[in-house]
């Protein structure tokens, strides 16, 4: 059996190594256009600031190692120019000599990845306008950054790569402006979950310009003049673009393989394209959304690695099925964390999928143990079954652990009732006896059982509550430090003795800091005949939607 793999990095290199482990006698050719066959592209921003000081650490493996350990025919600085499906042959060009030659295959795996978007703007090809895809891009950005310390840079795009690059530029003393077309950073997350991240960027001195875009670049005074749609002009030593990627599909399109409306190469559950002898993996393909069961494109390293492995398994005759991608992703930024898995609220609304949402604001471990850090978790669930549809988190330590647990819960088809009963490791320095994952289950399952009627903050803000009573049940000190306008204040511990102050003719919306005391107040009032709802996530969630200042 002869297999040609087009592209290395995550999917292609994983497929090659897996193939060799399963088929010692197979002829395996790995063709990579760049000089590096497998590198840690997620680590590239961190070498710019020397957080990862040794460039060689970013090389996951080398052509030499792949040749010696796995007996692979590795051809770097080579490009597959075309596929002849009828002849089962590809045409390869040596990029150093220009020589072209044919190579036959029994099976072909396409892993070309995705290319950073470079919109056709005036000045987009100026020398100091960068994208970040490979080690060579990283080297150019690092060289420019070394010469720009104490000066100004512009990052366009507030996605994961853009924000990671900003953190590293700030670390080495470069003043940075962030430009994002949407009205929030981290567009895959729901907007309110990004409020703490936007505030954090401002605290670190980053000039955040949301709802704006670049219309052109010009050379000016030895630097770059960046023109924005709003009419603003910025001067920068260099610009880094992080506005998204597009699948590298030209080879597939030219070969007549099926692609989706957004350009992703279409594959089945075994990662086969419309030609069963040609497989495709990684950022170039269209996948099935695990939650929504609809086509999507999600460029992530983890899924790409698994796809490469599964394609190799299927080529070797094993029964496999790629279950889909649920978009589990995480960002570390200045010591804080933002993460998500499954569907977001904005996605569920776009596809008109019914859902309920809850918010909690727990600590990462027991509050009595030193060093506890707070987080915000949002859970999205099916209103009929309680099945978990998605989750997001932002905060300090422990966000990653909870999102990973919830990612597995989604994979397992679990419900919020299962979260109530989940048994998780507990010691005071690691968690709480009622872990945040359990707390999500308690709150969501209580909502499903109608133990505590709830109203979410967007609904609260959108409705006229002039005929309702807004009840703040926090302490006097908390109330004085900030409250929702129009609120009546009765601390929860005084509520039973002051019921006479409340009118039974008005519906009550109760709230506290994070929802727990509001829940207790709701239970008290319900059992005394009042019509009441708890504000989901309390004042802390309200402030995510209505930031101060």
Cα 302 to Cα 330: distance, rounded to the nearest angstrom: 12
Largest separation between any pair of C-alpha atoms in the chain: 90
φ/ψ region of 224 (left if φ > 0, alpha if ψ in -120 to 50, else beta) reads: beta
**Rounded to an integer, what distance in angstroms lies between the CA atom of residue 241 and that of residue 235?**
15
Interatomic CA distance for residues 268 and 274, integer angstroms: 8
151: DSSP letter: S
Q: Which two tokens stand for residue 384?
A: 């009929």
Sign of CA dihedral 310, 311, 316, 317: positive
User: At 64, which helix (H) or strand (E)?
Assistant: helix 63-70
Residue 182 neighbours by CB distance under 10 Å: 15
Phi, psi dihedral angles at 524 (to 5 degrees): -60, -50
Q: Mention every residue, 6+ apart, whose C-beta is less than 8 A from residue 282.
A: 7, 9, 10, 11, 12, 111, 112, 113, 114, 304, 307, 308
CA distance 291 to 323: 10
**Is 42 a catalytic site residue?**
yes
What CA–CA distance (Å, rounded) separates 163 from 496?
49
Q: Exactly one of 22, 23, 40, 42 is catalytic; name it.
A: 42
Closest residue by Cα to residue 519 from 373, 358, 356: 358
Please tell me the distance from the alpha carbon of residue 263 to that of residue 284, in angstroms, as a whole number.
Answer: 8
* Of the candidates 74, 86, 85, 82, the residue with the CA atom closest to the CA atom of residue 102: 82
Q: Look-up: residue for tokens 């504000």? A: 535
Would you tell me the crossing angle of helices 63-70 and 11-22 to the nearest 10 degrees? 20
Catalytic sites, residue numbers:
42
């Amino acid at each position: 059996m002869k297999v040609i793999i087009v592209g290395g990095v995550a999917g292609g290199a994983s497929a090659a190594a897996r193939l060799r482990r399963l088929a010692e006698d197979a002829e395996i050719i790995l063709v990579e256009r760049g000089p590096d066959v497998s590198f840690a592209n997620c680590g590239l921003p961190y070498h710019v600031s020397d957080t990862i000081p040794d460039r060689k650490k970013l090389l996951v493996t080398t052509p030499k190692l792949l040749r010696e350990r796995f007996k692979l025919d590795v051809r770097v600085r080579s490009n597959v120019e075309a596929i002849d499906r009828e002849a089962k042959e590809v045409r390869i060009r040596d990029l150093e000599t220009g020589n072209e030659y044919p190579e036959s295959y029994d099976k072909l795996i396409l892993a070309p990845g995705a290319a950073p978007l470079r919109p056709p703007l005036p000045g987009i090809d100026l020398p100091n306008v960068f994208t970040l895809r490979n080690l060579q891009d990283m080297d150019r950005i690092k060289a420019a950054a070394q010469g720009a310390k104490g000066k100004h840079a512009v990052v366009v795009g507030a996605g994961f790569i853009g924000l990671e690059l900003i953190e590293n530029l700030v670390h080495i003393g470069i003043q940075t402006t962030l430009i994002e077309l949407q009205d929030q950073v981290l567009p895959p997350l729901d907007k309110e979950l990004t409020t703490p991240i936007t505030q954090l960027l401002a605290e670190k001195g980053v000039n955040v310009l949301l709802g704006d875009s670049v219309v052109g670049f010009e050379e000016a005074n030895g630097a770059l003049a960046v023109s924005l749609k709003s009419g603003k002009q910025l001067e920068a030593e260099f610009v880094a673009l992080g506005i998204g990627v597009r699948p590298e599909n030209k080879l597939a399109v030219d070969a007549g393989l099926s692609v989706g409306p957004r350009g992703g190469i279409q594959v089945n559950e075994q990662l086969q394209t419309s030609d069963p002898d040609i497989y495709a993996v990684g950022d170039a393909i269209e996948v099935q959304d695990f939650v929504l069961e609809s086509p999507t494109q999600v460029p992530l390293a983890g899924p790409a690695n698994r796809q490469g492995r599964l394609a190799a398994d299927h080529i070797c005759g094993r029964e496999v099925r790629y279950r889909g991608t649920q978009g589990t992703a995480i960002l570390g930024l200045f010591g804080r964390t933002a993460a998500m898995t499954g569907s977001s609220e904005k996605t569920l609304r776009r596809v008109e999928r019914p859902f309920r949402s809850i918010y909690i604001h727990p600590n990462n471990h027991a509050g009595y143990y030193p060093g506890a850090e707070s987080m915000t978790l949002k859970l999205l669930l099916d209103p009929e079954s309680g099945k978990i549809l998605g989750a997001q988190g932002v905060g300090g330590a422990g966000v990653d652990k909870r999102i990973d647990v919830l990612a597995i819960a989604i994979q397992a088809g679990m419900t919020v009732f299962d979260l109530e009963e989940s048994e998780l490791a507990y010691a005071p320095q690691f968690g709480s006896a009622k872990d945040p994952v359990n707390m999500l289950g308690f709150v969501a399952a209580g909502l499903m059982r109608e133990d505590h009627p709830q109203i979410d903050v967007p609904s609260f803000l959108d409705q006229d509550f002039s005929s309702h009573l807004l009840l703040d049940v926090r302490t006097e000190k908390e109330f004085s430090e900030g409250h929702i306008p129009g609120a009546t204040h009765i601390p929860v511990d005084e509520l039973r003795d002051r019921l006479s102050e409340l009118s039974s003719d008005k519906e009550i919306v109760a709230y506290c800091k994070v929802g727990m005391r509001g829940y207790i107040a709701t239970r008290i009032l319900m059992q005394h005949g009042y019509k009441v709802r708890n504000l989901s996530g309390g004042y802390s969630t309200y402030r995510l939607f209505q930031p101060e200042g």
